[in-house]
Amino acid sequence: MMFVDRHDAGTRLAERLRGRFDGAGTVVVGLPRGGVPVAFEVARVLGAPLDVIVVRKLGVPSQPELGFGAIGEGGVRVVNDEVVRAARVTPEEMAGVEERERAELDRRARRFRGDRPAVDLAGRTVVVVDDGIATGGTARAACRVARARGASRVVLAIPVGAPEAVEALREAADEVVCLQTPADLFAIGAWYADFEQTSDAQVVDLLHRAASLRAAASGGTTDGAAAGGTTDGSAAGGTTDGSAVGERAVGFTEEVEADAGEVRLPGRLAVPDGASGAVVFVHGSGSGRHSPRNRRVATALYRAGLAVLLFDLLTPDEELDRGNVFDVPLLAGRLDRVTGWLRGHRGVRGLPVAYFGASTGAAAALWAAAGSDADIAAVVSRGGRPDLAEPRLPAVRAATLLIVGGHDEAVLELNRAAQRRLRCENGLRIVPGATHLFEEPGALETVADFARDWFTAHLAPVPRR
């Protein structure tokens, strides 16, 4: 299991916790900075208040990335004596590191909370959330901070962690919930398609949004709402009354089984708050819903306010027959039926739909978009084979963008020929220096930028009557 980003990880973690820790007796706390986006989704799903527990690692002076301990709010201090002995850290060095880190801890706590007081933890179940655990020093300190502030029960919840660290932390927390414990955990970021650093400003914004959501749920107001902002973090004009518009205002991520008629196909659907459109990803031969390249593009589109669906076009048994992989009419038929299923899904009803196709998947996307009753707003092809849909190209009505690597010469010529056959609004973008898989530094990011700009320009909500 890989996570699209921290918000995706938080949504999955929340589903594991839902039903056990909902209600007024629970507080969710995130470890800044990366743990806060994960904790925000957990708090939103559980309906719990969100706060931070600020913890700082104490790094060995000669090797700062190696922690010999950690400190937390309220004077909490955790030291790993084995590391201190092995690294020969003197008491004077330890005191110097702790003094510097204590000053930074205090600064960050003031920066994150501003004028808001810390949420009272006394007598409550405290769910401590981080984006992952490698050694567990900061998580252990955070659990101790929660206990020192009066928590009646401490639950440590993480998307991914090293097995030995997770096991050791069962002594620090009353319960540890971890979705993944891979034996080969080399780095937390390896388990995320997008592990971009979280900024202080993002932490402050998420804490404010969480407070606004709580105020809205209780009928109160917040400073942000009084200033004209929304109280749920969604686009202005959204509602929370259960109507179709209100349904779209609430983001979610979930595993789905897309109805393709004769089969049901596994997929993953992510809908951001106030989504303005939905993009269905159509993978190429030898790939599937876990394609790292498609997932990276999907993350960029999600951040731009677009819902994204990645799904498998074929069952495992069907993939054994290589003829199916290149059967464009079969794949297009699957895509068409899945699109019909998606249009009726919660959070997506009424949204315009677009396709992002790669390699042979681009041919299937164009074939499906050319259907007489197809209502597809836009198509983007990444390194596609539009020539495989050549008979159908003149019938495509969706605005179509073809993206090809500058060094993918054979495919570039095929796309140029296909563009001449298109009668719809269309464009061809060439990524200089890129080959077929866009593996060169910055190449896939350029693809994501092109796709995002094309989709946001051509997707607009369907007017409601």
∠251-161-301 over CA atoms, to 5°?
Answer: 30
393 and 335, same structural domain?
yes
Asked if 209 and 161 sit in the same domain, the reply is: yes
> What's at 81, amino acid-wise?
D
Same domain, 210 and 278: no
Q: Are 378 and 356 in contact (CB under 8 A)?
A: no
Residue 208's Cβ-count burial label (10 Å; 0-12, 13-18, 19+) is middle
Residues 365, 272 share a domain: yes
Domain count of the fold of the chain: 2
Q: Do residues 391 and 279 both lie within one domain?
A: yes
Would you list the DSSP string of 195-245? Answer: -PPPPHHHHHHHHHHHHHHHHHHTT---HHHHTT--SSSS-TT---SSSHH
Residue 356 inside a domain? The answer is yes
Residues of the domain holding 435: 244-458
For residues 256 and 342, give the distance between their C-alpha atoms in angstroms, rounded to a whole number. Answer: 10
Whether residue 405 is found in the same domain as residue 356? yes
Q: Does residue 194 share a domain with residue 252?
A: no
390 DSSP 8-state letter: G
Q: What is the pLDDT along the chain (465 residues), one digit of tens a residue?
A: 578 889 989 999 999 999 888 777 999 999 998 999 999 999 999 999 999 999 888 888 888 767 788 888 877 787 888 888 888 989 999 999 989 988 988 888 888 988 788 899 999 999 999 999 988 888 988 998 898 889 999 999 999 999 999 999 999 999 999 999 988 777 788 888 888 888 888 898 899 888 887 777 665 533 332 222 333 333 323 332 322 223 333 457 788 999 998 899 999 999 988 899 999 999 986 677 877 788 889 988 998 899 999 999 988 888 777 778 889 999 999 999 999 999 999 889 899 999 999 989 999 999 999 998 899 999 999 999 999 999 999 999 999 999 999 999 999 999 999 999 999 999 999 999 999 889 888 899 999 999 999 999 998 654 433
Which residue type sits at 341? W
183 and 255 together in one domain: no
In a domain, 229, yes or no: no
Residue 465 lies in a domain: no
Measured between alpha carbons, how far is residue 220 from residues 39, 75, 101, 226, 237 in Å?
A: 22, 34, 37, 11, 18
Domain termination site, one of 166, 198, 215: 215
Report d(CA 16, CA 98) in Å as an integer.
Answer: 36
Angle, to 10 degrees, between the axis of helix 292-303 and the axis of helix 443-458?
50
Is residue 422 located within the same domain as residue 376?
yes
- CA-to-CA distance for 152 and 270, rounded, in angstroms? 35
* 290 lies in the same domain as 206: no
93 and 194, same domain (yes or no): yes
Rg (CA), the chain: 25
